[in-house]
Chains A and B, each alone.
Chain A
């Protein structure tokens, strides 16, 4: 059982209750005790034996309450007060540093600019803050909480409620209590619960824009403009964390070679050497993360997972609930902001992390696959409740078909890049069909992710091209589609399906699929004769049911 002491100069019961409810959701047993003081020097009156039993002490003295009610005749008087205040802080730090078991957090002051006293208190508060930052070097157990920055992020006019300060000695407006609690909880989380030591990053659309398998490393979005700039800034932020001693690793659903080709793009701020481990395969990310944690001998709760895709995040959250999963905004321009909001990074990292650790992992491991049944995947797939609808070609989805035909490389049977005119021409022939497959699960609606160009006549059922977007890999969609094609063939009295397959540099996935389906190569075509159904976790979408 860990114990926290929270000291304030304001009424803290509401904050206490909110914090308690947050803490009760965490697996660790944490006891929170709160005290209120009217003067900062009263802290010294706490019995030091008592103080010693707490694992963390958080001191939050609100400037607005401390100084606002005082009137200073002149600058000299104010300065005198501030000097005294400084001394008080110093003696409190002395006391706490000597007596606390672990760490204590002291929030800096809101540098609140009062138009009337612009030359006086605001500057003096800034001086006071600088003084406190300076002390953090002197006192090893002190962590300065950047409360001033927190206030400037949300705005002083929003956070404070002058009515409640005067009546209840409670400074915060109701709408921001949650944010205050998150801010305070950030310290508890970082100091007592978890210490993020390793980041696991996705590649596509997380550290650069676009899908590298389809675009190639020259065309990914990273650089000094638009979205490219957003990704660049995010990379800079991650690079800084590395300098703080945080280990970086990659977990990408891709072929290893394709994945690491991104580092050939000269605009990348992060280099291959920055990563201690790069994993690129088609396995589940939670399996890979579990592997990473074992490889580095780190607990799962010291790992942070960053991925732009919601379903990947949900998967990791579900199977590895201890991993810190960063909630990513849809817009890459907000990546950095969101990152800062969700984690309290402070000077603490500088002291705590062993910078050498990162270097000792310099060797880059490559990993193909590891098979391990540590969780019931079958059950998981069922819970996803995946559904697919079959759509025929129509004018509305023409653009999407064109897009997929041109962007998909990895699961693309024949690599025929039909133009819009080609597609329209193709469909004019009554024998031809373009089947579009959508995919949806409880987390996400992927839209159209699979397309089959087929042709049927008296002699044969022929698949001119068959492609699946990489977003839908590992979801058994390819088997759902083949089952559909088998049904379609049967209805039309065909006993085999002929595929047009052309090997390319990138479509290795198709080759594996062909092996799995056991297709025979006859006269240049790949033939499916065995009409047994394949296992899939995808059901036909509701609209088509019955």
Chain B
């Protein structure tokens, strides 16, 4: 069963990228040519807004996959 974080991320992701590819926790940034820096910025903004969290600059630049985002959010220990 998917946990809450993954479910939320999927909604935000599909909202931004459409149903272009299978979404999974293993999805990598380099696999999506649409996931460019602007989309990355929008993705970050959208996650921050929806989950009421804030990424640090280091986190923003280190995100390479959905899993990275998942781990960061998990570490932040927020109620979702």
Contacts and interface: CB of A to CB of B under 8 A. Distances in A.
B61 A167 contact: yes
A4 B60 CA distance: 33
Given A14-B42, A174-B45, A174-B48, A168 B57 contact: no
A-B residue pairs, 10 tightest by C-beta: A174-B45, A163-B57, A168-B41, A13-B38, A167-B60, A167-B61, A168-B37, A170-B41, A167-B57, A166-B57
B4 interface: no
Contacts of A168: 37-38, 40-41
A14 B41 contact: yes
Contacts, number: 26
B49 interface: yes
A163 B42 contact: no
10 contacts: A11-B37, A14-B41, A14-B42, A162-B57, A163-B57, A164-B41, A166-B57, A168-B37, A170-B41, A174-B48
B45 to A, nearest CB: 4
A398 to B, nearest CB: 47
B38 A11 contact: yes
B78 to A, nearest CB: 17
Interface in B22-44: 37-38, 40-42
B77 interface: no
Interface in A165-215: 166-168, 170, 174
Nearest to A162: B57
Contacts of A163: 55-57, 60
Interface residues of B, number: 13
Nearest to A13: B38
A345 B13 CA distance: 40
Nearest to A163: B57
Nearest to B46: A174
B54 to A, nearest CB: 9
Contacts of B48: 174
Contacts of B55: 163
Most chain B CB inside 10 Å of its own CB: which residue of A13, A167, A170:
A167
Contacts of A167: 41, 57, 60-61
Nearest to A168: B41
A53 to B, nearest CB: 26
B79 to A, nearest CB: 21
Nearest to B57: A163
Contacts of B45: 174
Interface string A1-35: 00000000001011000000000000000000000
A166 B41 CA distance: 12
A174 B38 CA distance: 13
Contacts of A164: 41
A174 B45 CA distance: 6
A14 B55 CA distance: 19
Contacts of A14: 38, 41-42
A174 B48 CA distance: 9
A280 to B, nearest CB: 48
Contacts of B61: 167
Nearest to A12: B38
A490 B60 CA distance: 77
Interface string A72-116: 000000000000000000000000000000000000000000000
A13 B37 CA distance: 11
B51 to A, nearest CB: 13
Nearest to B36: A13
A457 B45 CA distance: 73
Contacts of A166: 57
Nearest to A11: B38
A170 B55 CA distance: 16
A174 B44 CA distance: 10
A166 B61 CA distance: 10
A308 B69 CA distance: 48
Interface string A383-412: 000000000000000000000000000000
A163 B49 CA distance: 15
A400 B60 CA distance: 59
A231 to B, nearest CB: 39
Given A164-B41, A174-B45, 13 more contacts: A11-B38, A13-B38, A14-B38, A14-B41, A14-B42, A163-B57, A163-B60, A166-B57, A167-B41, A167-B61, A168-B37, A170-B41, A174-B48
A11 B40 CA distance: 13
Contacts of A170: 41
Contacts of B56: 163
A13 B40 CA distance: 12
Nearest to B61: A167
A120 to B, nearest CB: 27
